[in-house]
Amino acid sequence: MLSSKSGMRGLWFIMPAVVTLLLLITYPLIYGAYISFFDTNLITKWNFVGLKHYVNIFSNTEFVERILLTLHYTFWVVVGHFVIGTGLALILNMKLKGITVFRVILILPWLFPEVVVGLLWKWLFNPLYGLFNAVLMKVGLIDDPVSWLGDEKTAFAAVIVVSIWKGFPMVMMLLLAGLQSIPEDIYEAARIDGCTRSAAFRYVTLPALMPVMVVTLILDTVWWFKHFTMIWILTQGGPGNATNVVSIDIFKQAFEFFNFGKASAMAILVFFVCWLMGYGYRRLFGNGDD
Amino acid sequence: MKVRKVGSLVSLVLASSLVLAACGKSESGNNADSKDGAKQTTIRIMSVSQTENPDGPAEKEMAERYMKLHPEVKIEFIGVPMNDLYKKITAMATSGDLPDAFTMTPQFARTAHGMGITADLKPLLGEDYIKEFYPNIIEESSVEGKLQFLPWNAAPMALVYRGDWFEQEGLKAPENWDDFLEAAKKLTKDTDGDGKTDQWGFGMIGTRNGSGADRFIVILRSFGVEELRKDESGNWVSDLDTPEAKEAFQFFVDLNNKHGVVPPGVTETGFPEAASLMATGKVGMMLTGPNALGNIVSQNPDLKGKLHSVPVPMKVKHTATFGLLGYSIAESSKNKEAVADYLKFMVEDENALAWNQLSGRLPTKIEVGKQQQLTTPEYAGFVKALEYSFTIPAFDQYSQFQDIVAEAYQSMIAANQSVDAATRRAAERANEVIQANK
């Protein structure tokens, strides 16, 4: 039992964090929810409309289609991150000569700003001047330039490729940190018990890495589910609606159509989708530290 | 112990006030003493020209000339790209940090007026002064009789074409879309004999944004279709699923999908890309405002005098947008008179003509419009196009219609959606927007 004096002192210690959280997270969230009940231009017009925006969002299949497209996008991006990230983390965890150089090189995509990555890949994909078309035409794989970002069939895949390239280093570094925290003694004990390399991976590495993997999975999924910048730069949600993920739709509602109320309602729904995903993962894999 | 508690409280308050002081905007920043001791007024202007070349440096140079004449005024620019302008204005308005003046267009003027962020310029500039401008331009710059922005320049949409290529091919300036298609086909060719097309007739802008949509809407209107209009009983209606609309969409999409007279990657080609294609001799025609002339020639000075203009070809009529650009004065500005004086300076005859020479944009004052430099083949088409300019419908959610038509043509180009399906979806969305705004 804490004395009231030490309790007060504790309160003072957590005060900066509480104030920061209230100002930067709680207030915007509550304000966003508040706006979703209004038809507003945020300055002079504040018409209370109740649940109208929510009803409107679910009155057709458009929003659900966007959510499904976003889930589809997120699924492939996260799968890509984990396949590449895990593979590279395992390699980087080996005691090989010059491995630090590779660690530095492989983390580079994560260090570039998203805007830079978007523009860089946009130029690489360019049908007239882009590197990909030039190389593919030179080796004879294609006869005419392909508009990678301008064709509905290829634009979605192109956006996923860019997102995987940008995001795999974060997964790689987190898993590498997780791998390095597994005590060597456990592997040694497993070896003494006659464990093979693959069995050690299955029965030692994976269980020990699971807490880090779950946290990484939640972070990565939520992060890419609400991703906006690179898709906006690459395709602006097009062509047609091929890459029109939910964050692009919210942005357009707010800053192109100036429907701030509807945009807020959509954002609140996305918040719940993200929360549900996190909850689902925790239920599925446990809390990670069990 | 009490002393320590009070001490920590005081420290916290001091730290908070320091943080707040650092985050808060300076109220005293607008007026300061100049070197000679006189009061100096600082005016902040948010300008899209600052992010463009050669417009940005030229606008700065004009402001410097003004500051030399008026040492009591200091002008500071905030650059913002055209595609981000409306977002930036909205964000700054909601945070109470609007600059004294900001770029404005007729498309956004109604929304800005609804927000109450623009001052009525009529009393500031005077009725007599406003009479010096083309009346239809003043009408386009006003909402409910209030002048929302001083129209600095006009960039009516017209067809820019390579006059030298047309001459070589024995082509005449296109009057209608059949002429246009014939010319586009003739100009699409393999110039280096490697078996691959490397020159195209038309630099089509097919992005899903205002830049692409505005161009298509001009084509749509040339087919006699209005994306949004008021019917006889005064209700808003859309013609987006009429046979004429389908014909317009099909014609536009066929330029890429059927005739192949546009470079690959049309849905990725925005204005900067199309202007670069024109500057590098990859395309022979593009739909654009006269500002493209300055942009293209600055990239390739050899093209000076080779770019001609003609009104947008017609199916049933010629059409054009005004392409007006000007400056609004913020209702919250404390320096309205000073800003108004600078804006008057910008549109003075000499400055307007110099600006036209440099950027290609047309002046908005009647007397300046009569000058000879605007009758050359480069500008004649744009000046003529002003006669065919239509007024943007006074509808609060008009920007949604830009997205509606852009979604339709992109779905047809990139996903091979049929014209019936694309226009049906466009009409449905249009009707939803109209219903929601009743």
Positive or negative, the Cα torsion across A134, A140, A144, A146?
Answer: negative
pLDDT tens for residues A199-219?
A: 988 889 999 999 999 999 999
Query: Is A275 inside a domain boundary?
Result: no
B83 in contact with chain A, both atoms CB, cutoff 8 A: no
Q: Is the pLDDT reported for residue A287 higher than 70?
A: no
Query: Is A11 inside a domain boundary?
Result: no
Q: Do B399 and A149 touch (CB under 8 A)?
A: no
Q: Is the pLDDT reported for residue A124 higher than 70?
A: yes
CA-to-CA distance for A231 and A248, rounded, in angstroms? 8
Same domain, B206 and B297: yes
Q: Which domain does B125 fall in, by range?
A: 31-155+324-379
In this structure, what token pair is assigned to residue B368? 């300046």
Poorest-pLDDT segment among A4-8, A242-246, B228-232, B378-382 = A4-8
Query: Is B406 inside a domain boundary?
Result: yes
Same domain, B65 and B127: yes
Sort out which chain A residues have CB atoms less than 8 A from B93's CB and list them: 42-43
Counting the structural domains of chain A, the total is 1
User: Residue A193's domain is classified under what CATH number?
Assistant: 1.10.3720.10
Same domain, B339 and B310: no
B211 in contact with chain A, both atoms CB, cutoff 8 A: no
Nearest to A236 among B207, B264, B397 (CB): B207
Query: Is A186 inside a domain boundary?
Result: yes
Same domain, B271 and B201: yes
Query: Is A135 inside a domain boundary?
Result: yes
In chain B, the residue whose alpha carbon lies closest to the alpha carbon of A59 is: B432
pLDDT value, residue B21: 43
Nearest to A43 among B93, B417, B436 (CB): B93
Chain A interface with B: residues with Cβ < 8 Å: 12, 15, 41-45, 56, 122, 126-128, 144-147, 149-152, 155, 235-242, 252, 255-259
Q: Is the pLDDT reported for residue B372 higher than 80?
A: no
Same domain, B110 and B227: no
- A contact test, residue of B92, B115, B208 with most A CBs within 10 A: B208
Query: Is B372 inside a domain boundary?
Result: yes
pLDDT tens for residues B335-370?
A: 999 999 999 999 998 899 888 888 888 889 888 877
Q: Are B437 and B263 contacting, i.e. CB atoms less than 8 angstroms apart? A: no
CA-to-CA distance for A38 and B349, rounded, in angstroms? 47
Concatenate the DSSP letters of all residues of B265-297 into one string. Answer: -GGG--HHHHHHHHHTTSEEEEEE-THHHHHHH
Poorest-pLDDT segment among B26-30, B168-172, B310-314 = B26-30
Query: Is B114 inside a domain boundary?
Result: yes
In this structure, what token pair is assigned to residue B321? 């947008």
Interval B238-247 mean pLDDT: 96
B265 in contact with chain A, both atoms CB, cutoff 8 A: yes
pLDDT value, residue B6: 45
Sort out which chain B residues have CB atoms less than 8 A from A44's CB and list them: 114-116
Query: Is B2 inside a domain boundary?
Result: no
Q: Is the pLDDT reported for residue B241 higher than 50?
A: yes
- E strands along B48-144, which residues? 73-79, 101-104, 142-143
Interval A41-51 mean pLDDT: 91
Query: Is B14 inside a domain boundary?
Result: no
Interval B33-49 mean pLDDT: 80
Q: Do B115 and A242 touch (CB under 8 A)?
A: no
Q: In a 3-state reduction of DSSP, which class is residue A99?
A: helix
Query: Is A147 inside a domain boundary?
Result: yes
Query: Is A9 inside a domain boundary?
Result: no
Same domain, B314 and B329: no
Poorest-pLDDT segment among A11-15, A240-244, A278-282, B29-33 = B29-33
Query: Is B3 inside a domain boundary?
Result: no
Q: Do A126 and B87 touch (CB under 8 A)?
A: no
Same domain, B375 and B236: no
**CA distance to partner chain A, nearest, from residue B131 (Å):** 31
Nearest to B94 among A43, A145, A151 (CB): A43
Same domain, B332 and B211: no
pLDDT value, residue B34: 54
Q: Do A256 and B407 touch (CB under 8 A)?
A: no
Give the residue with greater pLDDT, B308 vs B298: B308
φ/ψ of B436, rounded to 5, equals -65, -20
Q: Do B86 and A155 touch (CB under 8 A)?
A: no
**Smallest Cα–Cα separation from B160: which of B303, B287, B333?**
B287
Q: Which domain does A147 fall in, by range?
A: 73-240
Judge if the upstream peptide bond of residue A239 is cis by omega within 30 degrees of 0: yes
Q: Name the region of A70 (left: φ>0; alpha: ψ -120 to 50; beta: rest).
A: alpha
Query: Is B165 inside a domain boundary?
Result: yes
Instruction: Count CB pairs under 8 A between chains A and B.
Output: 100
**Smallest Cα–Cα separation from B67: which of B97, B42, B90?**
B42
**CA distance to partner chain A, nearest, from residue B384 (Å):** 31
DSSP state of A24: I
CA-to-CA distance for B324 and B331, rounded, in angstroms? 21
Same domain, B173 and B315: yes
CA-CA distances (angstroms) from residue A165 to A23, A110, A219, A227, A236? 34, 9, 17, 14, 19
CA-CA distances (angstroms) from residue B47 to A64, B80, B83, B152, B325? 39, 6, 12, 12, 10
CA-to-CA distance for A151 and A239, rounded, in angstroms? 7
pLDDT value, residue B196: 87
Q: Do A126 and B268 touch (CB under 8 A)?
A: yes
Q: Do B399 and A256 touch (CB under 8 A)?
A: yes
Same domain, B196 and B256: yes
**CA distance to partner chain B, nearest, from residue A163 (Å):** 19
At residue B53 the predicted structure's pLDDT band, cuts being 50, 70 and 90, is confident
pLDDT tens for residues B212-221?
A: 999 999 999 9
Q: Is the pLDDT reported for residue A82 higher than 50?
A: yes
Greatest mean pLDDT range, B153-167, B344-358, B382-396:
B153-167
Same domain, B309 and B344: no
The end-to-end CA distance of chain A, in Å, is 27
Query: Is A157 inside a domain boundary?
Result: yes
Counting the structural domains of chain B, the total is 2
Same domain, B225 and B280: yes
Query: Is B16 inside a domain boundary?
Result: no
User: Residue B313's domain is classified under what CATH number?
Assistant: 3.40.190.10
